[in-house]
Amino acid sequence: MYQSFFEKRRSRLRFNAIEITVMFHTHPSTSSSERKKVCRWLDDAGIVCSGIHFIFDDNVKLASTYKENIQHSILYNRAVIDLAADLNTKTIVVGGGKIRSVKPEQSREEIMKILFEIFAASGDYAKERGVYLGIEAMNLPAAELRGIYHSLKQTN
- Residue 119: give its domain's CATH number: 3.20.20.150
Distance between CA atoms of residues 76 and 54, nearest Å: 11
Cβ-proximal residues to 114 (8 Å cutoff; 6+ apart), any chain: 62, 63, 64, 65, 70
Distance between CA atoms of residues 63 and 106, nearest Å: 9
> What's the whole-number mean pLDDT along residues 64-89?
91
> What's the whole-number mean pLDDT along residues 56-76?
85
What is the domain count for the chain? 1
pLDDT above 80 for 104 = no
Can you state the angle between helices 32-45 and 67-86, rounded to 10 degrees? 40
% of the chain exceeding 70 in pLDDT:
74
Q: What secondary structure letter does DSSP report for 28?
A: T
Give me the domain span that covers residue 91.
2-155
